[in-house]
Structure 1
Amino acid sequence: MDAAAFADSVRADAAGWDRHGGVPVEVVHEVARAGFLAADVPARYGGRDFSPAEVGRLCADLGGTCSALRALVTVQGMVAAAVLRWGNADQRARWLPALTSGDRLAGFAATEAGAGSDLAAVGASLDSGRLRGHKRWVTFGALADVFLVLATRDGRSVAVLVEAGPGVVVEPVTGQLGMRAARIAHVRFDDAPVAEVLAPPGFGLSHVVGTALDHGRFTVAWGCAGMARACLDLAAGHVATRTQAGTPLSEHQAVRAVLGRCLVEVRAAQRLCAHAAALRERGDPAALHETVLAKYGAARAASVVGEHAVRLHGAAGVDADSAVGRFHRDAAVMRIIEGSDEVAEQHLGRYALRGGA
């Protein structure tokens, strides 16, 4: 089953997952069996050799149904990308097949109460092979078997793999604004034994975590483009059948104008994502900056189109099980994770000064 068909098969269930606070474990296993986890990893490690564009379309299909499913693919891919790029041969052979098959579910643990966008300020520390620290907002942290954790050792950043078990305390998060089905957790490490250190000390943030975040931004961008398209389709379908004084809403000029603006947002997001994918495919150094641009633009598009879709749905848009309402809430979160709007704007401003425009 391809991603579009899979997304269609679970579309009716997504509202319930959001309401009850979690993608069911059996659905997570279905995603793994379908081969959607770390699909861009080389086949020799169990992946599917997906190109950037193929990974993007996968995330757009899932994102247009349930952001939590896309988030599952994102976090697994982030950790796999870091291991593939910075792990040694033994680490790649040991961890990548487990990540691609879903035998090990991953969490990415970088954010702390005092270190959100400023990851250089993390307080988690590694000493004598034991990790201490408290990480927040770990996507699928409530189900994770292994965590990629940013910490420091002797004042230098390190990225380590820590398996769930003794010394790892998971605190599930519920009731947050969006991404309610993404099994988010806060995770405390109390002298937890470290399974692996990826790359030399000093490379943890700039290299290992940087690789993970870049992969995350790319998949979030495509997921947001899928969300924006889904919101437009839902809005167009609603106004075509909803009548006001005997006239379909779609006959009102103001409604058509809103849909036109939404179409521009969707197409722009799709093109930004496709351009970033093409640059990644050929290894162009500008891909890093264009990925930031794609994530920024697509997240804003999902938020804007989601807001318009909610308003066009009227009272139906704020129903607890409304898809457009869920997407609108999730889009607000997308403008924060993997780099907030303000952080992205600073990055893109520097890029523009260097001629990126």
Structure 2
Amino acid sequence: MRARTRPETPEVEVVGRFVDEEVCPQADAWDRAENIPGDVLRRVGELGLWAPFLPAEAGGAGLDMVTLGRLHEEVGRGCSSLRSLLTVHTMATATVQRWGDDEQRERWLPVLSEGTTLGAFCLTEPDHSGSDSTAAGTVAVAENGVWTLRGRKTWITGGQVAGLFLVFAGTATGMSAFLVPSDHPGVRVTPVRHMLGTTASMLATIEFDDVRLDPSALVGPPGWAAGTVMTGALDLGRYSVACGSVGIVRAALAASAAYTSARSAGGGLLRDLPQIRAKISEMVTARDAARLLCEKAGRLKDAGDPATIMATWVAKYFASTAAAKAASDAVQIHGANGCGPDYPVARLYRDAKVMEIIEGSTQIQELTIADEAYREVSG
């Protein structure tokens, strides 16, 4: 891979100012428009946020996972749709870095690191449960050295703007992963509108109509993706969602503290009511506890410890449910104003519900975490 100039390492404080000045003021407008403008996405690239975890020779800044999590927390504080784009791009880019061959890394990592090509993660299908990652109606058939890809993926975050799809498909030997450019013949992209939350994340349904791929599109050996590529990518996605959920808690807390400090009821400020102070205290505690769980998962990732998989499940479970509770309380605190378009808490409420579903639903997490607890007890 050709040598590249090492970019400035994104700093949490710098990204925090970007979120305060350029994201928070526009997030509700993006939500209503169901779109994030291209100049914002380019600004994300200027800040080095698309793939700062890549090594310098691949166009990144060699950022550690704990700091990456804090960056995704900051972006999630301002706009979960924008953070969702970072999430799926991270999943696709990290897959190319870890499992791609030299040719795939040379072709894709430079443009992915710059954000001139955005990546999307194509796993969920309309006719199968989103929680069953092993079910695949999409198939790829090999014949005479050429793969033919057929099927449909849906709820694909960033699908409207992505230039590269990481596609999972059933093959004769099991689940396989393919890198498919969005402009490849036979690929059709249909926008998905009017979602409950993360409405600006530019979701799409992607159809593959006899898409012919040469062997260079395959990531790793055929039938190899389920236990390797998929597991690693989903773990990173889950980590990003967990960190972004901490951001939602922070945003709900800030909005609630500001509102109750300015709003009067019964001759005094809302902030003086015991019920309000109890909710604020819960948000502060949830913010700090969720962040600590995310930091633990990040440290284990940096150490290469396989325990990071379960730590990330726990972090995502706690942080996403905490975000849903904090956002719900924030709407309650705002009363009728919380249900309208003039305050951000309605958007936070809708986005937080999505966090309880994506990258492993709350119920799937409860099963997974409990299974681990029973394994520990049984020795």
- Shorter chain as denominator, the TM-score bin is over 0.9
Match of 2:180 among 139, 153, 162: 162
When structure 1 is superposed on structure 2, of 315-324 and 38-47 the one drifting more is 315-324
Match of 1:64 in 2: 77
The 5-angstrom pairing of residues 243-262 of structure 1 reads: 243-262=264-283
- 2:6 maps to none
1:144 matches 2:162:
yes
Alignment-mate amino acid for residue 123 of structure 1: G
Distance across 2 between alignment mates of 1:55 and 1:98: 19
**Residues in 2 aligned to 1:280 and 1:312: alpha-carbon distance in whole angstroms:** 38
State the match for 1:177 in structure 2. Answer: 196
Q: Aligned to 2:206, what secondary structure does the other structure show? A: strand
> What code does the residue aligned with 1:14 have?
A
Cα deviation digits, residues 103-139 of structure 1 (max 9, x gap): 2111111000233111211111112322111000000
| 2:50/2:89 contact within 8 Å kept | yes
TM-score by length of 1: 0.97
Q: Distance in 2 between matches of 1:322 and 1:106?
A: 32
2: CA distance between counterparts of 1:163 and 1:278?
33
Are positions 1:237 and 2:258 aligned together? yes
Whole-angstrom CA distance in 2 between matches of 1:289 and 1:153 = 29
- CA drift of 1:193 comes to 3.1
- In structure 1, distance between residues paired with 2:358 and 2:343: 23
- Equivalences for residues 64-83 of structure 1 within 5 A: 64-83=77-96
What is the 5 A alignment of 1:180-259? Answer: 180-194=199-213, 196-259=217-280
Deviation at 1:285, TM superposition (A): 1.6
Shift of 1:321: 4.2
Structure 1 residue 306 corresponds to structure 2 residue 324: no
Give the distance between the partners of 1:322 and 1:192, measured in 2 at CA: 45
Which residue number corresponds to residue 281 of structure 1? Answer: 302
Superposed CA offset, 1:52-90 (max 9, x none):
111011101000000011111111110011111111122
Alpha-carbon separation, structure 2, partners of 1:213 and 1:285:
14
Shift of 1:196: 1.1
CA distance in 1, matches of 2:85, 2:126: 23
Structure 2 Cα separation of the partners of residues 65 and 297 of structure 1: 20
Partner amino acid, structure 2, of 1:249: L
Q: Amino acid of the residue matched to residue 207 of structure 2? A: R
**2:20 corresponding residue in structure 1:** 8
Secondary structure of the 1:179 match is coil
Matches for 1:284-295 after TM superposition, within 5 Å: 284-295=305-316
Write the distance in 1 (CA, Å) between the matches of 2:301 and 2:320. Answer: 20
Q: Aligned residue for 1:124?
A: 138
2:46 paired residue among 33, 36, 53: 33
Cα distance in 1 between the residues matched to 2:120 and 2:186:
16
Q: RMSD of the TM alignment (CA)?
A: 1.5
Alpha-carbon displacement from aligned partner over 1:208-255 (angstroms, at most 9, x marks no partner) = 111111110011110100111110111011111100122001111111
Q: Check conservation: 2:173, 2:222, Cα contact below 8 A.
A: no
Separation of aligned partners in 1, 2:172 and 2:334: 55
Deviation sequence 1:122-167 (CA, Å, 0-9, x none):
1111123221110000000000111000001215110001111221
Listed one character per residue, the Cα deviations across residues 30-66 of structure 1 (whole Å, up to 9, x for unaligned) are 1112110011011110011110111011101000000
Deviates more, 1:210-219 or 1:185-194: 185-194
Q: In the aligned structure 2, how far is the partner of 1:264 from the partner of 1:51?
A: 25
Alpha-carbon distance in 2 for matches of 1:254, 1:209:
44
Counterpart Cα distance in 2 of 1:205 and 1:114 = 19
Count of equivalent residues: 357
Deviations 1:300-343 (A, max 9, x none): 11100000001001111111242111011001011111111111
In 2, the alpha carbon distance for the partners of 1:234 and 1:276 equals 28
Contact 1:162 1:193 in 2 (8 A): no
Q: 1:322 to 1:130 in 2, by over 3 A?
A: farther
- Structure 2 unpaired stretches of 5+: 1-9
Task: Name the structure 2 match of 1:45.
Answer: 58
CA distance in 1, matches of 2:231, 2:373: 21
The one-letter code of the counterpart of 1:139 is T
2:284 matched to which residue of 1? 263
SS at match of 1:120: coil
Letter in structure 2 aligned against 1:119: S
Which residue of structure 2 aligns with residue 111 of structure 1?
124
User: Displacement, 1:355?
Assistant: 2.7
Task: Give me the whole-angstrom Cα distance separating, in 2, the residues matched to 1:321 and 1:92.
Answer: 45
> Unaligned 5+ residue runs, structure 1?
none
Amino acid in structure 2 at the alignment position of 1:229: R
TM superposition outliers: structure 1 runs of 4+ over 6 Å: none
Give me the TM-score of the superposition, normalised by structure 2. 0.91
Is contact 1:174–1:180 with CA below 8 Å preserved after alignment? Answer: yes
